[in-house]
């Protein structure tokens, strides 16, 4: 499906979708609990659908209501129903549920789809083997074959690629028969680890960690309690709406549903917009963003790499170049995001300069309109597609986004919500 986005002025209020990061962790905890957990305010994202599917594949009873799900867990003893685990294209889902699958009796096969097929899984493979289990992978990636269950123990992991590996271990190891100790090197995305620990605490799980989050002591044989919880609004998705407000609001627009009980890394969008000259104010249920000129800004996105695409779009409309740090975090996403942004933004007459030595992306503002419709290939990456929509809303030329349905991975309602705010869109099915 191709969607054309026309220059538009936006106004009104839109509700932020539920956080897929929060929901996937809550689903994993509910799977491991000893009773029935009820989750409200569900995300419709594909990644969350994958987490519910994997919970069912590992033995949970899953009953989906209109806007809630009841999950009857396995009391820390997952068991594959058919020997198959399918994370679809969910990076977090695969890294979260792989260690949990490592608790189950083998054999289990985990397959993957799309861009997930090539994502590295060697850290999980090595960690599981250090903990008494055994996973075989093809060149350190998918498909994975689980041939022995984890029992606990000591493990050292490299956290420089992603914190998702650590999250999976933190959720699985309390159910292992023996105690465990994790040492982490070069940890990135610490806010996501804090989120994991907050959710574990709500399920009654105790984990001791140092302040730097580099060492974790985990008592084995713990029991997850059942919970009832409402899933937080998603700051990652709200970031695209907030940037749209700063670029295109007739006066201002409001995003509600952002009263968060858990830590979310991408709430960093608030500070980033302020650095860029934005005007944000809190409301009872979220934020209000006013249109403002974009000034040059410099932000470190090492802990929140999902903000790169929308902030690259924002920087495109400044008067001077802006710098975004943490580029090394973009390689193993739905696309090689840094490379895709560089190639596709050139179509907007925007120079995206990548410097590996300083780990930075420098975005040089638009040099002028192209005087024609611009076709963007997001390479199946939902966040690139949303950023391209921002370029169409603020630019002088319409933007055609190929394969725009990829936004369903995290925010299926994205284009619908833009229309509610006044965006001019047209759709053409392939």
Average pLDDT of the residues in 264-291: 94
Q: Report the pLDDT value the prediction gives residue 369, as an integer from 0 to 100.
A: 67
Q: Give residue 335's pLDDT.
A: 75
Domains in the chain: how many in total? Answer: 2
What span, in angstroms and rounded, lies between the C-alpha atoms of 394 and 23?
A: 32
Mean pLDDT of 19-32: 97
Q: For position 62, what pLDDT does the model report? A: 98
Q: Which of 184, 207, 230 marks a domain boundary?
A: 230
Can you read off the two tokens belonging to residue 299? Answer: 């932000």
pLDDT in the model for residue 286: 94
Verify that 175 and 271 share a domain, yes or no.
Answer: no
Give the separation between CA 309 and CA 237, rounded to whole angstroms. Answer: 12
Question: Final residue of a domain: which of 207, 230, 253?
Answer: 230
DSSP state, residue 135: E
pLDDT at 86: 95
- Regarding whether 399 and 256 lie in a shared domain, the answer is yes
Looking at the predicted structure, is the pLDDT value of residue 428 above 90?
no
Q: Quick one: 335 and 196 in the same domain?
A: no
Q: Which two tokens stand for residue 395?
A: 């630019």
Of 52, 92, 88, 87, the C-alpha closest to 73 is: 52
Specify the length of the chain in residues: 430
Q: Are 239 and 314 in contact (CB under 8 A)?
A: no
Mind listing the pLDDT tens digit for each residue in 59-93? 999 999 988 999 999 999 999 999 999 999 999 99
Please compute the mean of the pLDDT values over residues 140-158 and round it to a whole number.
Answer: 94
* pLDDT tens string 234-262: 999 999 999 999 999 999 999 999 988 89
Look at residue 304 in the predicted model and tell me its pLDDT. 94
Compute the distance between CA of residue 22 and CA of residue 196 in angstroms, rounded to an integer. 8
Burial of 368 (0-12, 13-18, 19+ CB in 10 A): exposed
Residues 182 and 252 in one domain: no
Rounded distance between C-alpha atoms, residue 160 and residue 153, angstroms: 22
311 and 200 assigned to the same domain: no
What average pLDDT does the segment 284-294 reach?
A: 95
The pLDDT score that the predictor gives to residue 371 is 64
Q: What pLDDT, on a 0 to 100 scale, did the predictor assign at position 349? A: 94
What's the mean pLDDT in 202-209?
98
Same domain, 202 and 151: yes
Q: What is the pLDDT of residue 66?
A: 86
Q: What is the pLDDT of residue 248?
A: 96
Per the listing, tokens 């493990």 go with 155
Q: Give the pLDDT score at 67.
A: 87
| pLDDT confidence tier of residue 138, bands split at 50, 70 and 90 | confident
- The whole-chain average pLDDT of the chain stands at 94
Q: Are residues 422 and 401 in the same domain?
A: yes
Percent of the chain's residues with pLDDT above 90: 86
Task: Report the alpha-carbon distance of residue 154 to residue 357 in Å, rounded.
Answer: 34
Residues 6+ apart with CB under 8 A from 201: none
Tell me: do 270 and 335 sit in the same domain. Answer: yes
Q: What is the pLDDT of residue 370?
A: 63
- CATH number, residue 188: 3.65.10.10
pLDDT for the residue numbered 92: 93
Q: Looking at the structure, do residues 325 and 240 belong to the same domain, yes or no?
A: yes
Give the predicted TM-score (pTM) of the model.
0.93
The residue behind tokens 């809190």 is 282
User: Can you give the pLDDT at residue 365?
Assistant: 95
pLDDT on residue 5 = 97
Tell me, what's the pLDDT at 116? 86
Q: Do 115 and 91 form a contact (C-beta atoms < 8 A)? A: no
For the stretch 337-395, pLDDT in tens is: 999 999 999 999 999 999 999 999 999 999 876 667 899 999 999 999 999 999 999 98
Domain termination site, one of 230, 261, 293: 230
215 touches 183 (CB < 8 A) = yes
Same-domain check for residues 10 and 26: no
| CA nearest neighbour of 393 among 423, 427, 349 | 423
Q: Are residues 242 and 335 in the same domain?
A: yes
> Domain containing 373: what range?
2-17+233-428
Contact 349, 367 (CB under 8 A): yes
**Region 294-312 average pLDDT:** 96
Q: How high is the pLDDT of residue 246?
A: 97
Q: Is the pLDDT of residue 164 over 80?
A: yes
Order of strands across the sheet that contains 215-218: 153-158, 180-185, 215-218, 207-209
Asked if residues 184 and 157 have their Cβ atoms less than 8 Å apart, the reply is yes
* In a shared domain, residues 203 and 238: no
User: Taking 70 as the threshold, does the pLDDT of residue 166 lie above it?
Assistant: yes
């Amino acid at each position: 499906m191709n969607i054309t986005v026309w220059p538009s002025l936006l106004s009104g209020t839109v509700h932020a979708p539920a956080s897929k990061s929060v929901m996937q962790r809550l689903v994993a905890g509910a799977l491991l609990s000893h009773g029935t957990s009820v989750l409200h305010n569900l995300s419709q994202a594909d990644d969350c659908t994958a987490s519910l599917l994997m919970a069912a594949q590992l033995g949970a009873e899953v009953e989906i209501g209109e806007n809630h799900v009841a999950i009857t867990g396995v009391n820390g003893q997952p068991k594959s129903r058919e020997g198959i685990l399918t994370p679809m294209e969910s990076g977090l889902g695969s890294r979260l549920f792989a260690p949990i699958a490592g608790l189950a009796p083998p054999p289990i096969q985990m397959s993957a789809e799309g861009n997930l097929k090539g994502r590295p899984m060697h850290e999980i493979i090595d960690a599981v083997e250090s903990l008494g289990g055994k996973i075989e992978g093809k060149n350190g990636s998918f498909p994975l074959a689980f041939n022995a269950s984890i029992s606990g123990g000591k493990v050292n992991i490299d956290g420089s690629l992603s914190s998702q590996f650590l999250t999976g271990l933190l959720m699985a190891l309390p159910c292992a028969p023996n105690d465990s100790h994790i040492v982490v090197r070069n940890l990135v995305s610490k806010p996501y680890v804090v989120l994991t620990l907050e959710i574990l605490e709500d399920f009654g799980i105790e984990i001791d960690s140092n302040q730097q989050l580099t060492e974790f002591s985990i008592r084995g044989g713990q029991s997850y309690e059942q919970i009832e919880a409402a899933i937080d609004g998603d700051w990652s998705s709200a970031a695209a709406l907030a940037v749209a407000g700063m670029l295109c609001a007739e006066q201002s627009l409001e995003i509600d549903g952002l009263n968060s009980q858990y830590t979310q890394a991408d709430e960093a969008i608030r500070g980033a917009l302020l650095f860029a000259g934005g005007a944000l104010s809190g409301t009872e249920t979220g934020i209000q963003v006013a249109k403002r000129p974009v000034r040059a800004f410099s932000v470190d996105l090492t802990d929140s790499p999902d903000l790169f695409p929308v902030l690259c779009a924002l920087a495109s409309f400044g008067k001077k170049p802006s710098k975004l740090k943490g580029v090394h975090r973009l390689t193993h996403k739905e696309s090689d995001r840094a490379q895709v942004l560089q190639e596709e933004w050139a179509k907007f007459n925007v120079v995206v300069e990548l410097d590996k030595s300083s780990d930075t992306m420098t975005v040089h503002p638009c040099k002028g309109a192209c005087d024609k419709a611009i076709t963007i290939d997001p390479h199946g990456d939902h966040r690139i597609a949303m950023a391209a929509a921002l370029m169409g809303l603020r630019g002088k030329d319409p933007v055609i986004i190929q394969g725009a349905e990829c936004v369903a991975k995290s925010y299926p309602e994205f284009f619908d919500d833009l229309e509610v705010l006044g965006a001019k869109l047209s759709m053409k099915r392939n």
